[in-house]
Structure 1
Amino acid sequence: MPFSKLMGVKVTSAGKDKIEAEIEVRADLCTTGGIMHGGAIMAFADAVGAIGASLNLPDGAKGTTTIESKSNFLGAAPEGEVVESVTVPIKVGKRLSVWQTVIKRKNGQQVAMVTQTQLVL
């Protein structure tokens, strides 16, 4: 996933039921005030949700694509910190899967909760 690589997403563990990843909050991922941009947070969550969906594809599927994403921004992630994500399936079906990603700072403070729906292609 070239864009995820560009952002610096590092997957630390991946299985059908849970994906864990982290990303360093760099200046180029920030908005005013040196905090992680909402779009960067959403892109991070989208990347790890897509990994979960891909790991759960049924036989013969060509891939997956995000068809819906909802983000709740719960706190700021300042430049220089590493934020961690945990992504779990809410439902995995034959045509759709729904994933929830919680992003936190190392001190446990929540940054965001993102729920997305992935379509099986």
Structure 2
Amino acid sequence: MRFVDATTDRVVAELAIRDDLKTIGGRLHGGTIMALADTVAATATFLNLPPGAGTTTLESKTNFFAGASEGTVRATSTPLHRGRTTMVWETRVTDAAGRLLALVIQTQMVLLPRAPGSPSVPRTSATASP
């Protein structure tokens, strides 16, 4: 994978199709497409995070439209929502001719840093000491 562009408003990466990324039928594996989209959307989120924050994927939905068996695929992530606690990204995966292979909508959680001395597990009546 090679990043082509990375800003707070758009992240683009390309991936060359290799035999080890294909299904037994010779097409780029859907899991490879999903991993590419996840990496690009997580990178886009990271570029929009406040200092010290992290991110993790909460949800990812993929619609597949076409397959590819050779060449390079491109993933482009753009924001649908950039909030304080979550961000939602649309990632379009296309082949070298620009044909849409997959559309991924992904929600990323913003992991804000904990204040010094704060408990790692929120205290509730079930976890509070007597």
Same-fold call, TM cutoff 0.5: yes
Q: Distance in 2 between matches of 1:97 and 1:58?
A: 13
Shift of 1:32: 2.1
Q: C-alpha offsets along residues 57-95 of structure 1, whole Å, 9 cap, x if unaligned?
A: 02342x1000100000010011x3101111101000010
Between the aligned partners of 1:45 and 1:85, the Cα distance in structure 2 is 6
Question: Equivalences for 1:14-25 in 2 at 5 Å?
Answer: 14-25=6-17
TM-score, with structure 2 as normaliser: 0.83
Aligned to 1:5: none
Between structure 1 and structure 2, the one with the greater Rg is 2
Q: Which runs of 5+ in 1 are unaligned?
A: 1-8
* 1:67 aligns to 2:58 (yes or no): yes
Q: Which amino acid aligns with 1:51?
A: T
SS in 2 for 1:59: coil
Moved over 3 A (4+): none
Equivalent residue in structure 2 for 1:114, among 95, 104, 128:
104
For the residues of structure 1 that align with 2:83 and 2:28, how far apart are their CA atoms?
33
Deviations 1:14-42 (A, max 9, x none): 00000111001111111022111011100
Deviation at 1:108, TM superposition (A): 1.5
Number of aligned positions between the proteins: 111
Say what the alpha-carbon RMSD is for the aligned residues.
Answer: 0.9
One-letter amino acid matched to 2:7: G
Decide which structure has greater helix share: 1
Identical counterparts, % of pairs: 45
1:42-57 matches, within 5 Å, as 42-57=34-49
- Give the Cα separation in 1 of the matches to 2:94 and 2:77: 12
- More strand by percentage: 1
Provide the residue aligned with 1:10 in structure 2. 2
